[in-house]
Chain A
Amino acid sequence: MTSVSNGTTERQAPRLSIAQMLGVIRVEFHRARTQRYPLCCLMIAVDGLDALAARDGWQAKASSMGATYDLLKRVAREHGFIGMAVQSGDRIMAVFPNTTTERMGQLGSFLLGAALTLPAPAGEMKPLTLSLGAAHNLLAETNSSFEGLVESSGRALHMATQGGGGRYVMYREAESEIDALRSDLAAATRTFREEQQALSDEIDDCGGLQRAELVDKIQRIFATVSRTPEVETLEKQVVDLAVAELYEERRKAVAAQMREHGRQVDMLERRIAKLTSLLGVTEEELARVMAMKQIDAGVASIFKTVQGLSGDDGSVAAKKAMMATIFEQNLAFQKNKESHAAAA
């Protein structure tokens, strides 16, 4: 993999500057567009990098980015992905010509897996996780310009980061991801509703059963003693108390379970809402940018109203006559044409 990094880690000095590398990538993009072969752009970010930098300083950030960059090079080399990468700031952008979306998905999985093998940053228990956003050049919005492709992969990365990180998102596949989440939610809601019903039934059923057993046991105990009115009253009071306690305990347990189910549904709903809104925003923005690209608003005229000849003009009378003649000639010609057309 040809690569350029502006990171501060002690690695071999790049042979190309970032600008040169971007130039090479652009050439590759235009070649892919002309020759119509697939090309993928992968954007990589380290999750929680800002927090890490805030806690341990910029060295920790640089070191994490460096490690990620080396990881990308290693994984790409191991699995035969040929491409170009540029590291700048807190992102790494890699472009892989002749790479289908399926292959890019594989690389995403390899990278996510390999990231787990990286040593955890100092003071952290968990290893680094990566967010990966990818876009391919076979869509109208990504095929028209290199900037469009980069922008789309950036959006996919944003989607991956917003989704909690540690994931790979292919631009436009986010929609299907949301659809999958929606169907998950629908299934979960259906299941929870069934379980809720079952639990409600259970409260009654189990309560009834337990109550029956308990009543039997209590009645068996009281059967061993001589039955006086006081004892019978006492037996009734004990049975009522035990049943009430049991019922209350069971109700609390079921309510806790219901709350847990509700929390899970709520979480899924919030995630869908967030992703949908994010997708909506990006779609809206994309549409706006596309619209701006195609529709030039034009340049405003210096005149706000219809002008006509100025009275200050020395030859205003002659010019008026000329304007009238031009108009009459045009009127005769254009109206004649219209009447001929109407007649025809």
Chain B
Amino acid sequence: MTKNSTASSGQSTGGTTAATKTSTTEETSPSKDHGVLYLGVDLGTSRTSIAASNGQRVTISSHVGYPKDVVARKLLGKDILFGDEAVKHRLSCRFYRPLASGVMKATTNEKTSDVEGNMKAAADLIREIIRLSKPRTDELVYAVIGVPAEAAIHHKDAIIKAARESVDSVMLCSEPFSVAYGLDMLDDVLVIDIGAGTTDLCRMHGTMPEESDQVTTTYAGDFVDNRLSELIAKRYPQAQFTTQMIKEIKEKHSNISDTMPSVTVELPVNGKPTSFDITEEVRTACRSIVPHMVDGLSNLIATFDPEFQSRLKNRVLLAGGGSMIKGLDLAIETEMHQRLGEGKVLRIEEPVYGGANGALKIAHDMPGEYWEKLK
């Protein structure tokens, strides 16, 4: 049995490494007879969240940075940076957003073609998020990790490999399924999980969803960011900005409502901060994903048993970080009314932790013998 003897110093300074150090020696491992820790992990493009049965809930942005050279290493005082810290120091790091364009689906990083680096960054991110849940070395640790249904096999393998270094047994499951399972809505429900890289739509009908029950599109947070960038650049060609700045603006002001408050932001023009009114651009960009979502919903509804289609249309569950766009639920409902005749959208209470909570519940409900067999 692989045992964990985590002695990490993620925030340490000096010569200590930021990565979780693990040992697989039987001799040094304590006996794991003091309890069972369940972990539910939502491995997202933008954020990675974990919910644990010890009460820990942590979310970090899915960014990993490795100091570029010795000077940067000295300056940053760490071997690996995670989350916002990595974003902050991205200029002095080899910067990875390992789950870009859907969980490790793409074979290239958005800025580099360093596939191996991407895989390593993803593995380090998983180790870090598990470390942040503060598992005890004397407890059995069982984890369920939510991944998009269409994640490639070799990336699933990388996730499992990384997770197994820190846990005793691990399982993967579909992200939208875990959201629905967490809310105990397993029958005749349509789940829309809007992430940064992908939007996953999943039809639940009392059994495990199959491939035909799931649709994954890239009309998600990153799509909105790109659209917003285009619109701002078109209207204010003199404004200077980066994707990261646009992302921050979107997260702060995203709104679809016709009566949304005006959005004025300061962007540099030739080095001078200048105010720009981007209300219309934000609204248009955020709204741009709605038709694509309803397209996906239409497909899933149209191929469902006609007797239950109406029920399905009235049980649409909106989850994921993208669901925090104000007015999105109403906009989808309106679009559904126009195209499908009816529709009722429910926004989940905790968009950030919805996937992790569901994965945690799956981990809890999973029989012990299944965990044993996967050790």
User: Could you list which residues of chain A lie within 8 angstroms of chain B, going by C-beta atoms?
Assistant: 140, 143-144, 294-309, 315, 318-319, 321-327, 329-331, 333-334, 337
Contacts and interface: CB of A to CB of B under 8 A. Distances in A.
A298 B14 CA distance: 23
Contact of B52 (A295, A301, A305, A329): A301
B134 interface: yes
B56 A299 contact: yes
Given A318-B207, A325-B208, A302 B135 contact: no
Given A294-B7, A333-B156, A308 B366 contact: yes
16 contacts: A144-B14, A298-B137, A299-B54, A299-B134, A299-B136, A300-B35, A302-B55, A303-B37, A304-B35, A315-B206, A318-B186, A322-B207, A327-B373, A331-B373, A331-B374, A333-B160
B334 interface: no
A307 B368 CA distance: 7
Given A304-B35, A304-B36, A315-B187, 18 more contacts: A295-B7, A296-B134, A297-B136, A299-B54, A302-B53, A303-B36, A306-B367, A306-B368, A307-B36, A307-B38, A315-B206, A322-B207, A322-B208, A324-B370, A326-B208, A331-B373, A333-B153, A333-B172
A326 B366 contact: yes
B365 A323 contact: yes
A326 B35 contact: no
A144 B13 contact: yes
B371 interface: yes
Interface residues of B, number: 48
B367 A323 contact: yes
Contacts of A144: 13-14
A302 to B, nearest CB: 6
B134 A306 contact: no
- For the residues of B in contact with A, the DSSP-based class is loop
B139 interface: yes
Contacts of A315: 184, 186-187, 206
B137 to A, nearest CB: 7
Contact of A303 (B7, B53, B181, B362): B53
A327 B365 contact: no
A300 B13 contact: no
Contact of B362 (A143, A321, A323, A333): A323
Nearest to B15: A140
A297 B366 CA distance: 26
Contacts of B6: 298
Interface string B83-111: 00000000000000000000000000000
Interface string B177-197: 000010010110000000000
A144 B16 CA distance: 11
Nearest to A36: B74
A139 to B, nearest CB: 12
Contacts of A304: 34-36
Listed from nearest, the 9 A-B pairs whose CB atoms lie closest are A306-B368, A298-B136, A301-B37, A325-B208, A327-B370, A299-B54, A298-B134, A330-B171, A299-B134
Nearest to B10: A296
Interface string B25-68: 00000000011111000000000000011111000000000000
A334 B161 CA distance: 10
* A303, A319, A329, A331 interface centre (most CB from chain B within 10 Å): A303
Nearest to A308: B367
B136 A305 contact: no
Contacts of A309: 365, 367
Contacts of B12: 294
Nearest to A323: B366
Contacts of A327: 171, 366, 370, 373-374
B173 interface: yes
Contacts of A323: 362, 365-367, 370
B12 to A, nearest CB: 8
A322 B181 contact: yes
A301 B367 contact: no
B248 interface: no
Contacts of A324: 370
Nearest to B52: A301
A337 B34 CA distance: 31
Contacts of B54: 298-302
Contacts of A298: 6, 54, 134-137, 139
Given A143-B14, A318-B206, A330-B172, A306 B153 contact: no
B292 interface: no
A306 B171 contact: no
B349 to A, nearest CB: 21
